[in-house]
Amino acid sequence: MITCDIVHLNPAAMDSRSLFVLLWMLLSSTSTGIKLDGNGYVDVVIAISSRVPQDDTLIGQIKDMVTEGSLYLYEALDKKVYFKEATILVPPQTESYGKAKIIIDNANPAYGDEPYTNQYGECGAEGQYIHFTPNFLRDTTLIKPYGPKGRVLVHEWAHLRWGVYDEYSEEMPFYYSNGNIEATGCSKNIDGQLSDVTAGSPCQTDPRTSLPSKGCTFFPNKYQNTHSSIMYLPSLDSVSTFCRENEHNYEAPNLQNKKCGKATWTVIFEDSVDKDALRSLKPLQSSPPAPVFKVVQRMHRVVCLVLDVSGSMQVCKSIN
């Protein structure tokens, strides 16, 4: 069933410019999107693509991820924020995702099942959307390389909402610092070993760069004495917050330094869309409540415009 929102207009009561602006507002209107209601984020919209078969189990896994992520987010920012309300849009739906900022869709060939955030703006600017695949949510074996689902959500949320960038680098995973080889990341206090994953042997040195050769990977030790950083290794059990200025690694050749040149914590509290709220909010005195979910089957919306050309309508009643 298709419903029609009827809007009565009196063209005689307005000029052509006003009429155009009003029509544009009616046809493009949506709510303002994600916002903070007290300490809780609301209007968090998650859309399941029409290409993904309907599956109640998948909806449950989305809820689990957001619930787990809410508690991790609460701890990550000094107990100031959490996910309060989220809406899950399920097919059928229009081709447009509307105001959805988290998309569940089939794998992008460039990324496979790796979660990612479309992020084109400057440091501190909001991103476009987060992309998860159904397989990422279902496959428990992906927890090992990426980390628990809720932690990954908070990592991507930091890209999306606060405009921070990754502290690791796939292009330059290592660099020199004071004559020592260091893994690109934050903080430098994370200990680990180097190993060539392709050869299954110790790393070799690239004669052109004097850095570890391609295939060499840094494997962090399971137990660490540092709690940062979420934008580097959210998969580590000890990692529960973002890098602050006193531990930020300015030498690391990563996007966070290239785009921002400052710690992720500083960007979140001084440059992001939430900077004013985060500075004024008081920490919650106890753990936040679980998120409230709405599951909505999004239908087509039709706006019917009825033009009154008789001039008989009163100006003050020209819009109902």
The catalytic residue positions are 156
Q: Determine the Cα–Cα distance for residues 162 and 88; give it in Å rounded to an integer.
A: 22
Q: Determine the Cα–Cα distance for residues 307 and 291; give it in Å rounded to an integer.
A: 44
Angle (deg, nearest 10), helices 149-162 and 56-76: 70
What string of DSSP letters covers 139-155?
A: -GGGHHHH--HHHHHHH
Spacing of C-alpha 276 from chain mean position: 20
Burial class (CB in 10 A: 0-12, 13-18, 19+), 78: middle
Q: Determine the Cα–Cα distance for residues 178 and 181; give it in Å rounded to an integer.
A: 8
Exposure string (b/e) for 251-282, b if CB count within 10 Å is 16 or more? ebebbbbebbebbbbbbbbebbbbeeebeebe
Going through 159-250 in order, the beta strands assigned E by DSSP cover 174-177, 180-183, 192-196, 216-220
Single-letter amino acid, residue 14: M
DSSP 8-class letter at 282: P
Three-state SS at 269 = helix
Q: Determine the Cα–Cα distance for residues 163 and 192; give it in Å rounded to an integer.
A: 29
Q: Determine the Cα–Cα distance for residues 267 and 230; give it in Å rounded to an integer.
A: 14
Q: Is 215 left (phi over 0), alpha (psi -120 to 50) or beta?
A: left
DSSP 8-class letter at 246: T
Tokens of 221: 């030790």
Residue in the structure block whose two tokens are 């400052």:
262
